[in-house]
């Protein structure tokens, strides 16, 4: 088999051996690279003309860390594993004295990203990272960098002492050469980071910091074990010395590599990167066109959020509203979005002023004549949208991408009154648009591949994870999400407790349960969306009266201070026994009696009852070709619904349980409770044949 990456040794007349890592695209450290690194080092040691060594990466990048794509092979046993500690201790500590952190000095550019992001993959930093980082930057900062998988830029790394000098990219290797010679000739100190102690807090203080970190880690993700392992490993190094820490790191790393959490998170890593690979669009050799100016119609919650996202990435924005009052309100919302960043220290006043200067408010289409992208974000009214798109066709240049932020309406209907169907596309943001990471790009059978490529590029620039989906009511994300609340409402009518359902879902790892979420979104939106589903998928909509009944008493969610919870002060939700009277009324209107069996259910059962209908709908979305691939739905569920990433996304999780089991449960509930739970044919077929839900479908994907 061909080697995956290599290193190259080049010894200069100055006696400096430059070892360059070659492994595109990010010079990841594959096993081949690591062995080759060892060989290059040994050769450099053998040669009498070598005084010092510089390690660098080919093509402007140092390294993206260990080769994540080899995890699968190691986990599945297809790849031979080096013995525990061989790489971290034998190669990197005892031979190389490590890449990067254990070198005697590090030179970087101001924009270089440095970090230990391993926890995002369900493992801990290996190769001595848990031992060296605390010794280089102190315990508190190193814990922040590791536990949050948060990289820092060259500038900060320099201030912290992780990097010894900052230089421009062209001067990197030459400066490093000189630095290495200076160390060799004793003009600069010879520092072994593994044995540094000056940055480490005194033992008592260190223990307090670690105790606090453990409490935080458990609070943030009670289901995750590996952050606690990371803290234990760091503690071992501080208490028993770095060599003991290295051993504990190596053995713990080995165990975590085989955990379900690691497998799920590696799946998420690659799936997230795969969402922008779209057959029939990104494989045609098209280059994205330059989008210089963007127009947004509607300054409401969505429009102002989208405008904020755009100006944060330096796009000049024309914001159109129908009158001065609405326009001012829209601009004020953008200001408030940015000011909240200033308050949190994420933005300077100067940057705030610059961002706001990119927004121009208008009441007509005069300034639309040179825009390259329009995003319509007005209320969900088909007639109004049709008129707007007819106007856009008239006032915008002929190359302009015409996008709509509709969350439910069929795009063909919106573009019906135009001849520009090829440049009409959905750009569905999630509220708050400047915060939520997902962008659902909707293409119809008419949308040109160029327009998809253009929008993918904008998505990347505004730092969103895109998923490209086909056209239908609710598209992919909302369609999958809808049964989450639906089944919860159904079981409440049947006697289950609202708060018990929410608790089971948050314990499972959702940021909030279906009822807390309904409060956040507002019942008005939830009911309006429900109407769209009723029109299009009536056979699987449960017509609960609970939300409309509560709305009659102006109990419509957080905005009205009351919903399923009471809200006093800052977003604190408290259960409210008063909701029982609405539940009883809703039950009697539905004509159902509480099912005593439901009261005996465990939290696991509740989670299944809420999520199996979600999986069922995700299967329909796949079957209809609305999503390109199953892993896109995993990403959509994580970034759009807050599904716990360490469970790998909705389909990945479903496959870990097995289609057969899910199908069996849905069948059982269909018999007991009716058609809402009826498994779709995609699920039934795969359950019967034992085919994973994520396996690609054979039939042509009609919608894309």
Ligand X SMILES: C[C@H](O)CC(=O)SCCNC(=O)CCNC(=O)[C@H](O)C(C)(C)COP(=O)(O)OP(=O)(O)OC[C@H]1O[C@@H](n2cnc3c(N)ncnc32)[C@H](O)[C@@H]1OP(=O)(O)O
Catalytically annotated residues:
98, 118
**CB-hemisphere CA count at 13 Å for 515?**
29
Tokens, residue 453:
């490529």
CA distance 119 to 52: 33
CA distance 297 to 286: 28
Name residues contacting ligand X, limited to 602-641 (CB under 6 A). Answer: none
Is the CB of 4 or the CB of 703 nearer to ligand X? Answer: 4
Question: Would you report the helix, strand and coil content of the chain in percent, each value rounded to 5?
Answer: 55, 10, 35
Is the CB of 87 or the CB of 107 nearer to ligand X? Answer: 87
Applying CB under 6 A, does 544 fall inside the site for ligand X? no
Applying CB under 6 A, does 69 fall inside the site for ligand X? yes
Applying CB under 6 A, does 32 fall inside the site for ligand X? no
Q: Which of 18, 53, 121, 650 binds ligand X (CB under 6 A)?
A: 121
**Which range, of 126-134, 179-187, 445-453, 616-624, touches ligand X by CB under 6 A?**
126-134
Residue nearest to ligand X (CB): 126
Is the CB of 129 or the CB of 514 nearer to ligand X? Answer: 129
Applying CB under 6 A, does 64 fall inside the site for ligand X? yes
Name residues contacting ligand X, limited to 267-306 (CB under 6 A). Answer: 270, 273
Applying CB under 6 A, does 227 fall inside the site for ligand X? no
Q: CA 435 → CA 340, 343, 599, distances in Å?
A: 12, 16, 38
Q: Which of 1, 2, 25, 350 binds ligand X (CB under 6 A)?
A: 25
**Which range, of 63-71, 92-100, 228-236, 353-361, touches ligand X by CB under 6 A?**
63-71
Applying CB under 6 A, does 405 fall inside the site for ligand X? no
**Which range, of 123-131, 214-222, 584-592, 598-606, touches ligand X by CB under 6 A?**
123-131
Contact in structure between 656 and 276 (CB atoms under 8 Å): no
Is the CB of 67 or the CB of 608 nearer to ligand X? Answer: 67
Contact in structure between 232 and 248 (CB atoms under 8 Å): yes
Neighbours of 84 (CB within 10 A): 14
Please, what is the minimum distance in Å from the beta carbon of residue 292 to ligand X? Answer: 23
Applying CB under 6 A, does 126 fall inside the site for ligand X? yes
CA distance 596 to 593: 9
**Which range, of 60-68, 199-207, 299-307, 398-406, touches ligand X by CB under 6 A?**
60-68
Applying CB under 6 A, does 62 fall inside the site for ligand X? no
CA distance 60 to 604: 49
Contact in structure between 295 and 360 (CB atoms under 8 Å): no
CA distance 156 to 542: 54
Which of helix, strand or coil describes residue 295? strand
Phi, psi of 435 (to 5 degrees): -115, -45
Q: Which residues contact 428 (CB under 8 A, 6 or more apart)?
A: 405, 406, 407, 439, 440, 441, 442, 475, 477
Applying CB under 6 A, does 646 fall inside the site for ligand X? no
Q: Which of 32, 67, 235, 502 binds ligand X (CB under 6 A)?
A: 67
Is the CB of 265 or the CB of 526 nearer to ligand X? Answer: 265
- Residue 439, strand partner residues: 429, 466
Please, what is the minimum distance in Å from the beta carbon of residue 154 to ligand X? Answer: 13
Is the CB of 127 or the CB of 523 nearer to ligand X? Answer: 127
Is the CB of 28 or the CB of 40 nearer to ligand X? Answer: 28
Please, what is the minimum distance in Å from the beta carbon of residue 133 to ligand X? Answer: 11
What stretch of H or E contains 165?
A: strand 165-166
Which of helix, strand or coil describes residue 468? strand
**Which range, of 22-30, 140-148, 154-162, 533-541, touches ligand X by CB under 6 A?**
22-30
**Which range, of 43-51, 125-133, 290-298, 322-330, touches ligand X by CB under 6 A?**
125-133
Please, what is the minimum distance in Å from the beta carbon of residue 244 to ligand X? Answer: 18
Strands (E), 344-471: 359-362, 373-376, 401-404, 424-429, 438-443, 465-470
Please, what is the minimum distance in Å from the beta carbon of residue 270 to ligand X? Answer: 6
Please, what is the minimum distance in Å from the beta carbon of residue 272 to ligand X? Answer: 8
Pairs from 687-691 (Cβ < 8 Å, separation ≥ 24): 687/659, 687/660, 687/662, 687/663, 690/659, 690/660, 691/659
CA distance 662 to 607: 12
Is the CB of 117 or the CB of 432 nearer to ligand X? Answer: 117
Is the CB of 66 or the CB of 653 nearer to ligand X? Answer: 66
Tokens, residue 106:
């590090």
Applying CB under 6 A, does 117 fall inside the site for ligand X? yes
Is the CB of 64 or the CB of 658 nearer to ligand X? Answer: 64
Applying CB under 6 A, does 68 fall inside the site for ligand X? yes
Could you identify the residue written with the tokens 């009536």? 538
Strands (E), 465-571: 465-470, 565-568
Nearest to 439 by CA among 378, 375, 518: 375
Strands (E), 346-434: 359-362, 373-376, 401-404, 424-429
Applying CB under 6 A, does 118 fall inside the site for ligand X? yes
- Residue 55, strand partner residues: 19
- The dihedral region occupied by 280, where left means phi > 0, alpha psi between -120 and 50, and beta the remainder, is left
Applying CB under 6 A, does 127 fall inside the site for ligand X? yes
Q: Which of 4, 11, 26, 155 binds ligand X (CB under 6 A)?
A: 26
Applying CB under 6 A, does 251 fall inside the site for ligand X? no
Q: Which of 75, 95, 113, 420 binds ligand X (CB under 6 A)?
A: 113
Applying CB under 6 A, does 148 fall inside the site for ligand X? no
**Which range, of 115-123, 443-451, 464-472, 568-576, touches ligand X by CB under 6 A?**
115-123
Please, what is the minimum distance in Å from the beta carbon of residue 566 to ligand X? Answer: 42
Please, what is the minimum distance in Å from the beta carbon of residue 266 to ligand X? Answer: 9
Applying CB under 6 A, does 66 fall inside the site for ligand X? yes
Which of helix, strand or coil describes residue 359? strand
Please, what is the minimum distance in Å from the beta carbon of residue 91 to ligand X? Answer: 12
Applying CB under 6 A, does 28 fall inside the site for ligand X? yes
Please, what is the minimum distance in Å from the beta carbon of residue 386 to ligand X? Answer: 38
Q: Which of 5, 57, 85, 129 binds ligand X (CB under 6 A)?
A: 129
- Count of residues interacting with ligand X (CB under 6 A): 19
CA distance 443 to 102: 49
**Which range, of 11-19, 112-120, 520-528, 621-629, touches ligand X by CB under 6 A?**
112-120
Residues for the chain: how many in total? 704
**CB-hemisphere CA count at 13 Å for 527?**
15
Is the CB of 59 or the CB of 397 nearer to ligand X? Answer: 59
Please, what is the minimum distance in Å from the beta carbon of residue 236 to ligand X? Answer: 16
Nearest to 147 by CA among 250, 223, 253, 218: 218
**Which range, of 62-70, 368-376, 548-556, 669-677, touches ligand X by CB under 6 A?**
62-70
Please, what is the minimum distance in Å from the beta carbon of residue 431 to ligand X? Answer: 26
Please, what is the minimum distance in Å from the beta carbon of residue 107 to ligand X? Answer: 19
Is the CB of 79 or the CB of 273 nearer to ligand X? Answer: 273
Is the CB of 117 or the CB of 522 nearer to ligand X? Answer: 117
CA distance 408 to 300: 17
What stretch of H or E contains 336?
A: helix 324-343
Tokens, residue 620:
């329909």
Phi, psi of 570 (to 5 degrees): -80, 85
Nearest to 70 by CA among 17, 33, 40, 99: 33
The DSSP secondary-structure symbol of 24 reads T
Q: Which residues bind ligand X (CB under 6 A)?
A: 25-26, 28, 64-69, 113, 117-118, 121, 125-127, 129, 270, 273
């Amino acid at each position: 088999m061909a080697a995956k990456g290599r290193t190259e040794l080049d010894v200069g007349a100055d006696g400096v051996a430059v070892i360059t890592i070659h492994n595109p695209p990010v010079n990841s450290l594959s096993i081949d690279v690591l062995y080759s690194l060892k060989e290059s080092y040994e050769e450099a040691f053998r040669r009498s003309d070598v005084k010092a060594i510089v390690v660098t990466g080919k093509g402007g990048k140092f390294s993206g860390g260990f080769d994540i794509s080899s995890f699968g092979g190691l986990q599945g046993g297809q790849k031979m594993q080096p013995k525990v500690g061989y790489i971290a201790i034998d190669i990197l500590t005892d031979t190389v004295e490590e890449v990067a952190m254990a070198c005697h000095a590090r030179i970087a550019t101001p924009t270089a990203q440095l970090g230990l992001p391993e926890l995002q993959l369900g493992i801990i930093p290996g190769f001595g990272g848990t031992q060296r980082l605390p010794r280089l930057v102190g315990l508190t900062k190193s814990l922040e960098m590791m536990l949050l998988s948060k990289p820092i830029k060259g500038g900060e790394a320099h201030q912290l002492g992780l990097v010894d000098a900052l230089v421009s990219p062209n001067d990197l290797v030459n400066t490093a050469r000189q630095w290495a010679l200076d160390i060799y000739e004793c003009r600069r100190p010879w520092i072994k980071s593994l044995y540094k102690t000056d940055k480490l807090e005194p033992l008592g203080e260190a223990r307090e910091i670690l105790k606090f970190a453990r409490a935080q880690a458990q609070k943030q993700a009670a289901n995750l074990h590996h952050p606690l392992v990371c803290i234990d490993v760091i503690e071992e190094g501080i208490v028993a010395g770095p060599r003991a820490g290295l051993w504990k790191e190596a053995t713990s790393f080995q165990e975590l590599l085989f955990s379900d959490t690691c497998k799920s998170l590696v799946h998420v890593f690659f799936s997230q990167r795969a969402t922008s690979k779209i057959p029939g669009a990104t494989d045609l050799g098209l280059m994205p066109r330059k989008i210089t100016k963007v127009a947004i119609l509607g300054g409401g919650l969505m429009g102002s959020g989208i405008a904020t996202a755009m100006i944060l990435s330096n796009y000049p924005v024309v914001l159109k509203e129908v009158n001065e009052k609405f326009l001012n309100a829209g601009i004020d919302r953008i200001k408030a979005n940015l000011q909240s960043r200033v308050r949190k220290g994420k933005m300077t006043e100067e940057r705030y002023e610059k961002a706001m200067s990119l927004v121009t408010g208008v009441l007509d289409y005069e300034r639309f004549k040179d825009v390259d992208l329009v995003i319509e974000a007005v209320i969900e009214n088909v007639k109004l949208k049709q008129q707007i798109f007819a106007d856009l066709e008239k006032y915008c240049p002929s190359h302009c991408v015409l996008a709509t932020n509709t969350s439910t309406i069929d795009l063909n209907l919106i573009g019906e009154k135009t001849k520009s169907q090829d440049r009409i596309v959905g750009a569905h943001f999630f509220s708050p648009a400047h915060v939520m990471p997902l962008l659902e790009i909707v293409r119809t059978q008419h949308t040109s591949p160029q327009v998809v490529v253009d929008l993918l590029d904008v998505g990347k620039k505004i730092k969103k994870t895109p998923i490209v989906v086909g056209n239908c009511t609710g598209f992919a994300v909302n369609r999958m999400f809808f049964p989450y609340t639906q089944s919860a409402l159904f079981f409440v009518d049947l006697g289950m407790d609202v708060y018990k359902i929410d608790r089971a879902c948050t314990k499972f790892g959702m940021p909030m349960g279906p009822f807390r979420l309904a409060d956040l979104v507002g019942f008005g939106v939830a009911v309006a969306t429900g109407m769209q589903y009723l029109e299009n998928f009536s056979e699987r909509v449960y017509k609960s009266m609970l939300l409309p009944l509560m709305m009659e008493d102006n109990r419509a969610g957080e905005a009205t201070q009351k919903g399923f919870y009471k809200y006093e002060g800052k977003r604190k939700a408290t259960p409210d026994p008063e909701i029982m009277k609405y539940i009883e009324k809703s039950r009697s209107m539905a004509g159902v009696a509480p099912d005593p069996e439901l009261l005996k259910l465990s939290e696991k059962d509740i989670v299944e009852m809420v999520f199996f209908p979600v999986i069922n709908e995700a299967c329909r979305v796949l079957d209809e070709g609305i999503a390109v691939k199953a892993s896109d739905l995993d990403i959509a569920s994580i970034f759009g619904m807050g599904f716990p990433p360490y469970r790998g996304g909705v389909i990945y999780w479903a496959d870990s349980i097995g289609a057969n089991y899910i199908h069996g449960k849905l069948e059982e509930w269909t018999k007991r409770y009716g058609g809402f739970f009826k498994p779709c044919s995609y699920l039934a077929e795969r359950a019967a044949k034992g085919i994973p839900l994520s396996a690609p479908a054979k039939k042509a994907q009609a919608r894309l």
